[in-house]
């Protein structure tokens, strides 16, 4: 389904001038926070139906976001695209190790890594189910400033990975919660800014990642008690 490019300078889009200093970025409601309860995987309800009012609103946000682009914003979006599913979370895990000690810290890092891997697998399977066109495929004038991703737009893999990692890191070390969720939000918003995902894609990905992160933490509740005892013994 093709949607004609919106060329008016007055495309309505809410903006967030505080997420990254010096950048005007799109803003949309629905992204989880550190206090959002872990949702069941059934929350992945599927994308809006093409042609529906919700679908048109989804596209309007992406088209409006294009008008916010600047060279600095494009560089930021490329950095989020490159690091948002992996390296930035391992950098934050290194900070976690400074707070929890080497042994426990590496055990926690392994949990972050396994959660990222699990999230990527689930997101990949969900993409195959929904097979949604990406915004730039619907409207080629969006011309993303990042490397073009392929495959289904729904749910956002970057957002699911970011919010899964943020949930795990924020619970393992609450002093890093605000920073972890700030980074996750940047990753999610950058995908809409760049025109490679709709808002509903990144919200679904964020909720999916939150659910998987929460599940990973529940599965490790008992082993972590043993981990802590081992870490105490080898200090």
Residue 75 lies in a domain: yes
Cα 226 to Cα 90, 107, 115, 216, distances in angstroms: 23, 11, 19, 16
Looking from the CA of 45 toward its CB, the CA atoms found within 13 Å total 6
pLDDT value for 38: 74
Percent of the chain whose predicted confidence (pLDDT) is above 70: 86
Residue 23 lies in a domain: no
CATH number of the CATH domain containing 195: 1.20.144.10
Residue 17 lies in a domain: no
Range name among 33-47, 69-83, 140-154, 217-231 with the lowest pLDDT average: 217-231
- Per-residue pLDDT of 201-210, as tens digits, reads 999 999 999 9
Residue 55 lies in a domain: yes
Provide the H-helix boundaries in 6-156: 53-66, 71-83, 87-100, 102-130, 135-138
pLDDT value for 10: 53
Q: Which of 33, 49, 11 is nearest to 200 (CA)?
A: 49
Q: Which domain holds residue 75?
A: 46-233
How sure is the predictor about 11, in pLDDT bands with cuts at 50, 70 and 90?
Answer: low
- Per-residue pLDDT of 140-174, as tens digits, reads 999 999 999 989 999 999 999 999 999 999 999 99
Range name among 4-18, 47-61, 124-138 with the lowest pLDDT average: 4-18
The total domain count for the chain is 1
Global pTM reads 0.88
- Per-residue pLDDT of 102-114, as tens digits, reads 788 888 899 999 9
- Supply the mean pLDDT for the chain: 87
How sure is the predictor about 230, in pLDDT bands with cuts at 50, 70 and 90?
Answer: very low
Q: Tell me how far apart the alpha carbons of residues 162 and 209 are, in angstroms, rounded to a whole number.
A: 7
Residue 117's contacts (CB-CB under 8 Å, 6 or more residues apart) are none
Residue 102's contacts (CB-CB under 8 Å, 6 or more residues apart) are none
CB atoms within 10 A of CB 22: 9
């Amino acid at each position: 389904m093709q949607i004609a490019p919106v060329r008016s300078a007055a495309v309505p889009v809410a903006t967030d001038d505080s997420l990254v200093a010096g950048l005007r970025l799109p803003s949309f409601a629905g992204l989880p926070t550190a206090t959002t309860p872990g949702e069941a995987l059934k929350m992945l309800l599927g994308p809006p139906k093409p042609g529906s009012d919700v679908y048109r609103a989804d596209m309007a946000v992406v088209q409006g976001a294009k008008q916010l682009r600047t060279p600095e914003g494009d560089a930021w979006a490329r950095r989020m695209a490159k690091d948002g599913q992996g390296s930035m979370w391992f950098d934050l895990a290194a900070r976690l190790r400074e707070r929890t000690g080497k042994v426990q810290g590496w055990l926690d890092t392994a949990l972050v890594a396994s959660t990222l891997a699990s999230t990527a697998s689930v997101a990949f399977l969900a993409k195959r189910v929904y097979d949604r066109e990406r915004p730039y495929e619907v409207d080629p004038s969006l011309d993303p400033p990042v490397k073009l991703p392929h495959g289904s737009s729904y749910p956002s893999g970057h957002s699911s990975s970011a919010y899964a990692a943020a949930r795990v890191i924020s619970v393992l070390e609450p002093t890093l919660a605000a920073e972890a969720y700030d980074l996750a939000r940047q990753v999610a918003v950058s995908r809409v800014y760049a025109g490679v995902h709709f808002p509903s894609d990144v919200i679904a990905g964020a909720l999916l990642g939150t659910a998987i992160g929460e599940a990973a933490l529940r599965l490790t509740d008992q082993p972590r008690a043993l981990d802590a005892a081992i870490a105490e013994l080898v200090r």
